[in-house]
Structure 1
């Protein structure tokens, strides 16, 4: 279980790092766009992202990742 947590955290940090390294101005534009979205909608987007992430992890495990 700890291995999965470390794997997921490593993948998130890798992708986030790539975004900041390759397109820092795009990150600023994205943050400005997020500020214009109401908090309730941002919360719904967060829940949707969590559900999608859990679904992807479940699919990876069902396909044989152990």
Structure 2
């Protein structure tokens, strides 16, 4: 279980690092747009993405 969590964390770091390495200007623009986005919209988006993540883990591990 801990190994799976660490593997998932490593994959997130890899994907995020790759995005910053390949598209630094796009990531800067995205950060600026996030600052302009209302908090409730970010909260809902985060919740939806979290639920999808749990669903995909359940689907793949089940």
Identify the TM-score tier after normalising by the shorter chain: over 0.9
Q: Distance in 2 between matches of 1:56 and 1:9?
A: 15
Higher helix share: 2
In the TM superposition, residue 56 of structure 1 has moved relative to its aligned partner by 1.1
Aligned CA-pair RMSD: 0.8
Paired residue total: 62
Structure 2: 5+ residue runs without aligned partners? Answer: none
TM-score, normalised via structure 2 length? 0.92
Runs of 4+ more than 6 Å apart: none
The Cα offsets for residues 11-58 of structure 1, whole Å up to 9 and x where unpaired, read as 100100100110010101101111111001101111111101111111
Q: Distance in 2 between matches of 1:56 and 1:14?
A: 19
Superposed counterparts of 1:1-66, under 5 Å: 1-62=1-62
TM-score, normalised via structure 1 length? 0.87
